[in-house]
Structure 1
Amino acid sequence: MIPTNERPSVTLPEHWTAVVPELEDVPRLGELRGRQAQPFTGSAGYDAATVEAEVAGQMSWTRRQTVVRDADGVIRAWAHAHDRAAGRAVIGVEIDRTLPRDVQDRLAAWCYDWLTEAAVEFARLREQDVTQLDAGAFAGDDTLRGWLTAAGFERARTWWQMSRPVTADDAAPDALPAPKPGVTVRQVAHHDNGLPVAEDLTAVHRVLEEAFRDHFNSYLESFPEFVQRLREDPGHRWNHWWLAFVDDPADPEAEPVPAGALVATVSPADDGGVEGTYVDYLGSTPAARGRGVATAMLHAVVADAAGRGRNRVGLEVDADSPTGAEALYVHLGWRTKYTTESWHRDVRVD
């Protein structure tokens, strides 16, 4: 059990309390999240469905969280930890930036202490000796960077958040190039009841595990954990999963093999009321690289988004990767909207 009001190193202001958030708190939590992001994204909007899922939906099942209320009962901070995998906890803190700076700093210190204990509890239940705390920050948010540094975190990676405009013209049959010879792309197969075929789902998981094996901070994730985690997202749709297949040049008569996978979600409506598509995962096996597999899948998801009346496709790119993948995205029309960072801290489980 995690104590809520005090920590050895810092205490909350007098008459302030920490409690588990309730469904009625969603608008205030979304407000805190949106305002914290606004200087860097240009919008104070937030995904209400995601916040609700984190607080009282499927996403809450793998999370521990607390909100800090001031003496008048107003929520001033939200700390949340996601049991992402064995030895990994993804954490986040949203703090009311209108408070005096010394109060913000005090709340941040308390929240990171609380989150450290939550992550240690996750790791202990999973019988891990060490756990990694993974926190995100917007590039340029020096206040949050300062809190993370004070809490013992180090900046580990930089990410470009990119977006490509989509128009109805992208849905035309010849608007986008066809896959290269020997490459085919299709959505995962579905049963008559709309649920996906197991063979295709396991193929997606297998391809992505192989594709990301040599990437930054990669780890093996079991198939059940992978599927459950993705299904928790309110934007999840089974018809947003794609597989790419390649022929064997040495044996043209052989059955094409899975060599690429793309998993996307529905992005919430923008200020104009139009939804978008977001690419959560895109990967191809090492043996298939250089054959245009990634390009073919990106063309497929753009055409799909256009056919659904959406106006954008977003994705995240590792800015520190030596592969130069961003050149492909820029060539295909993606541009960086803003930049984020990953901050890590390893904690030993006593």
Structure 2
Amino acid sequence: MHPEHRRQGIGTSILELLEARGSSLAAQRHPGLPAVLRTSGGRDPEPDAGPGGADIRPVLERRGYRRVRSWLEMERELPGPALELPAPEGARILAPAPERSEAVRLAHVAAFADHWGSAPIDAETWQLWTTSHTSRPEHSTIALAPDGTVLAYAVTSEDRPGVLHVALVGTRPEARGRGLARAVLARTLASGAEAGFTAAVLEVDAESLTGATRLYEAVGFHRAHVYATYEKPVG
């Protein structure tokens, strides 16, 4: 909300309309099943830095929303400390060619099937996102099995000039524990540094079941901000 128009009930009215639409869609698409409304609760306040975007939270809480998840925004300087570029056994580490886009999507669907709040992304949406003007496929990386299966991946974009956004990182469940995620990240960060990016940023579930936070810290990322997700049951 523009600062000049806050505290006039405009935001609450918009939220009410969105809730009504969300409830209607849930009833149409998943009749009889429980559903929740989910939204961002903004960034956690930081010392001497204002509310950080969390000024929406009182409104959400008055309407029955509760914090259900925290997300870490992590940053790393580039080039930063040099990383070893590992070569895991049974996989090639390389940038994904356009014809492997669908294989990367399928790897992502498999990798996030057991992650909180994740839903499969369809082929059309994936294609639109990975070919957008902010996409940087030359700095994305995959771990490719001999049979052509994508085992792990890092997908990148440039949402802020000079900052490489590692938008997605994942490993197929059956390929976890082989160092593949570290390998694709190392290649992606090296590629970004060589291209002149000054920093890399990513987001991770603070309660990641795969321990992703430890991996990112091991390759030089540190926590910059914390964001929250809020939910309330439909109805």
The TM-score, its normalising length taken from structure 2, stands at 0.83
* Matched letter for residue 133 of structure 1: L
Specify the SS of the correspondent of 1:236: coil
Change (3 A) 1:304 1:210: same
The answer as to whether partners of 2:81 and 2:220 remain within 8 angstroms in 1 is: no
Q: CA separation in 1, counterparts of 2:131 and 2:71?
A: 24
Q: CA separation in 2, counterparts of 1:228 and 1:122?
A: 23
1:111 positional shift:
2.5
* Matched letter for residue 185 of structure 1: I
* Matched letter for residue 114 of structure 2: D
Change (3 A) 1:245 1:340: same
* Matched letter for residue 215 of structure 1: H
Change (3 A) 1:105 1:230: farther
CA displacement 1:232-279 (0-9 Å, x = unmatched): 5x41234344321246xxxxxxx463211221101312xxxxx11111
1:333 positional shift:
0.3
Larger RCO: 1 or 2 (CA < 8 Å, sep 6+): 2
Aligned match of 1:162: 74
The answer as to whether partners of 1:243 and 1:259 remain within 8 angstroms in 2 is: yes
Aligned match of 2:48: none
Aligned match of 1:225: 125
Aligned match of 1:244: 143
Q: CA separation in 2, counterparts of 1:299 and 1:209?
A: 22
Matches within 5 A, 1:211-290: 211-232=111-132, 234-246=133-145, 255=147, 257-269=149-161, 275-290=162-177
Q: Percent identity?
A: 23
Q: CA separation in 2, counterparts of 1:209 and 1:322?
A: 16
- Give the greater-gyration-radius structure (CA): 1
Specify the SS of the correspondent of 2:207: coil
Q: Is 2:205 the counterpart of 1:306?
A: no
1:118 positional shift:
4.2
Change (3 A) 1:231 1:104: farther
Q: CA separation in 2, counterparts of 1:226 and 1:309?
A: 27
Specify the SS of the correspondent of 1:329: helix
The answer as to whether partners of 2:163 and 2:199 remain within 8 angstroms in 1 is: yes
Structure 2: where are the runs of 5+ without partners?
Answer: 46-50
1:143 positional shift:
2.7
The TM-score, its normalising length taken from structure 1, stands at 0.58
* Matched letter for residue 158 of structure 1: S
Aligned match of 1:291: 178
Specify the SS of the correspondent of 2:184: helix
1:131 positional shift:
5.6
Q: Is 2:11 the counterpart of 1:108?
A: yes
Q: How large is the Cα RMSD of the aligned pairs?
A: 2.6
Aligned match of 2:63: 151
Aligned match of 1:187: 95
Q: CA separation in 2, counterparts of 1:245 and 1:294?
A: 12
1:289 positional shift:
0.7
Number of residue pairs aligned between Structure 1 and Structure 2: 225
Q: CA separation in 2, counterparts of 1:260 and 1:318?
A: 18
CA displacement 1:130-159 (0-9 Å, x = unmatched): 764331111234532111111222212101
1:105 positional shift:
6.7
Aligned match of 1:119: 22
1:169 positional shift:
7.9
Q: CA separation in 2, counterparts of 1:236 and 1:132?
A: 31
Aligned match of 1:176: 84
1:164 positional shift:
0.8
Q: Is 2:214 the counterpart of 1:327?
A: yes
Specify the SS of the correspondent of 1:104: coil
Matches within 5 A, 1:35-114: 77=1, 95-96=2-3, 104=7, 106-114=9-17
1:336 positional shift:
0.7
Aligned match of 1:344: 231
